Structure 1
Amino acid sequence: MNRLKLTLIRGLPGSGKSTLAKTLNAVHLEADMYFINKQGEYQFDPKELKKAHLWCQNQCKYYLSEGQNVVIANTFVKHWEMQAYRKLAKLFNAQFSIKVCTGNFQNSHNVDLLLINKMKKNWQP
């Protein structure tokens, strides 16, 4: 039996995280998916960000518990933001890996350049 895999893809908005995630053989999750309404429209609400990340972690836990590989594509600017996923990998004895995207493409959620620059300044390699 193959060992489960949990892959984190981190990078700034527009770095190619979602594009890379879609190429991997795994359930693709992002906190941004929480903000897609029933009509398929993206409606970001910064007040809901904590809930979005909890949703993403819970979805990850569910799919791992179902024996499916998971890839999470979030910015993960700070190391602590990946900690919950490290714990989930350990809990399910999943192979854990982190990929970093550094491309420079149009970001799909029109994140403000000032915010991107702030993330760049706070980035922990």
Structure 2
Amino acid sequence: MNKLQLTLIRGLPGSGKSTLAKTINAVHLEADMYFIQADGSYLFDPLLLKQAHQWCQEQCRVHLGQGKDVVVANTFVRHWEMQAYRKLAKENKADLIIKTCRGNYANIHGVSQLTISKMKRNWQV
């Protein structure tokens, strides 16, 4: 039996995280999915960002608990932002793989250049 895998994909908006995640044979999760409406439209609310990340972590917990490989594509600018996932990997005896995207594509959620510049300044290697 293959060992369970949790893959974290980190990178700035527009770096190719979602595109890479879709190539991995695993349950694909992103905090941005929390903001997708029933009709498929995307409605971001910065006041709900904490809940979006909690939802993403909980979905990861559920799927790993069901024995499914999971890929999470979020910015993960700071190392502490990956800590909950590190814990989930350990609890589920899953291999943790961390990939960084550095592409330069259009960011599909309209993140401002000011916000992206701030993320760049705060990026932890």
Q: Hey, what does 1:35 align to over in structure 2?
A: 35
Q: 1:109 is matched by which residue type in structure 2?
A: H
C-alpha displacement of 1:116: 0.2
| Matched length | 125
TM-score (norm 2): 0.99
Is 1:117 aligned to residue 117 of structure 2? yes
Distance 1:42 1:79 in 2: 27
Consecutive unaligned residues in structure 1, runs of 5 or more: none
Is 1:67 aligned to residue 71 of structure 2? no
C-alpha displacement of 1:95: 0.4
Distance 1:18 1:29 in 2: 9
Once the two structures are superposed, the pairs formed by residues 72-111 of structure 1 within 5 Å of their partners are 72-111=72-111
Deviations 1:49-69 (A, max 9, x none): 000000000000000011100
Deviations 1:74-122 (A, max 9, x none): 0000000000000000000000010000000000101000000000000
TM-score (norm 1): 0.99
Consecutive unaligned residues in structure 2, runs of 5 or more: none
Deviations 1:5-54 (A, max 9, x none): 00000000000000000000100000000000111100000000000000
Runs of 4 or more above 3 Å deviation: none
Q: Secondary structure at the match of 2:98?
A: strand
Q: Secondary structure at the match of 2:25?
A: coil
Q: Secondary structure at the match of 1:83?
A: helix
Distance 2:64 2:108 in 1: 27
